[in-house]
Each structure stands twice: as C-alpha cells, then as structure tokens.
Amino acid sequence: MRPAGTGGAGQRNGEPAGQGGGTAPLHGPALFWIVFSAVALADRATKSWARRHLPRASIAATGWLNLQLVENDGAAWHLFSGQRWPLLAIALGTLILGFLQRRRLGFPSPAGQLALGLLAGGIVGNGLDRLFLGFVVDFIDLALPFYRWPAFNLADGAICCGAILLLFLGGGRGGHGAGQCQRR
C-alpha cells in the first residue's frame, strides 16, 4: 500500500491526482528557438528541393497553386531589384534590433515568442539565400480567382504570419495589445 500522494495512479512526485504528470508548455526562449530553427531549416530544405526539382515553367499542383522556380534578386514583388547588399543589411539590422529589443517590446508570452521565432526564422532563411546565392529562391505561386500572388517561399510566409501575429498582439506595446488582457 502507498501513502496518499506518493505516486499511485494518476499521481507523480507526490502531486495529487489530476495535477502535474504532463509536460510543461513551451514558452519563453525555448519556444522562440524551436520555432526559429524549424522555420529556418524547413525553408532551407524546401528551397533546396525546389532548386533541384522545379523547372522554370510553372507546374500546376492544384487549380490555384502552382510551383515555379523564381530567382528574386529584390524584395517582395521584386521591389529594389538588384539591391542585394542593402537588402541584406536591412534584414540583418532588423534581426539584431528585434533580438536586442524583444524584452523591452514586451513579448515574453508564448504568442510573442512564436511571432518573433517566425520572423527571425524567415529573415534568416531569406538572408542566407541573399548572402550565398545573390537572390532569394521563390517557388510557391498562388493564382487565386481574384489575384495572382507573386511567387514566394516558406520564409516569406513565416515573416508575414509573424508580422500579423505581432500586430494582433499590439505591436509590442508593453504586452497589452489586442490579443492580451490588461490586468488591473
């Protein structure tokens, strides 16, 4: 017989049944680094696959999704085309500033760390392309009925999702944005 609270069914380390026993939720720096690494690695892998397997001509995957290899030497929508080093400097500066200011911006929450991980992973993914290739590899081509989106990649998607999440969270204004409740 075991004394109450010493590891019987549903108990762990002297905790009453129904408490503990699970894994701790990811938060803080661990969540940031996991998301950052996953985005950067997945971006590198998908771009490597695209460069090996996709032709320059568009391949229809579905009625609205095409795969087409595009070498983008500019930014979104090919803006600032041919400006490799200034674009790389802006990306690096943004990454460093975001990293240095993350606590002051008020993003210790899991959602904030997720947003920053998405942004940083995307910035690094596209930055590595710019640094080593001189252009960013794009290959996802959305042809919606009302708009044909410019080709993009996983890093672009992560950057957009991270930016939207940051806006939803209030842009870092002390952590009291639309997505969080203020405590009184």
Please spell the DSSP secondary structure of 139-166, one letter per residue. EEEEB-SS-BPPPB-HHHHHHHHHHHHH
Q: Is the pLDDT of residue 15 over 50?
A: no
pLDDT band (50, 70, 90) for residue 59: confident
Is 156 catalytic? The answer is yes
Is 43 catalytic? The answer is no
Q: Is the pLDDT of residue 174 over 50?
A: no
**Catalytic-role residue among 43, 129, 141, 156:** 156
The pTM of this model reads 0.75
Boundaries of every domain in the chain: 28-168
pLDDT digit string (tens) for 137-158?
Answer: 999 999 888 888 889 999 999 9
pLDDT band (50, 70, 90) for residue 120: very high
**C-alpha R_g of the chain:** 21
Supply 113's token pair. Answer: 């760390």
3-state secondary structure string across 112-140: HHHHHHHHHHHHHHHHHHHHHHCCEEEEE
As a whole number, mean pLDDT of residues 5-31 equals 55
Q: Is the pLDDT of residue 175 over 50?
A: no
Q: Is the pLDDT of residue 66 over 50?
A: yes
Q: By the 8 A CB rule, do 117 and 39 touch?
A: yes
As a whole number, mean pLDDT of residues 61-65 equals 85
pLDDT digit string (tens) for 28-56?
Answer: 688 999 999 999 999 999 999 999 999 77
**Catalytic-role residue among 43, 129, 138, 141:** 138
Burial class (CB in 10 A: 0-12, 13-18, 19+), 139: buried
Q: At what angle do helices 110-133 and 84-101 cross, to 10 degrees?
A: 160
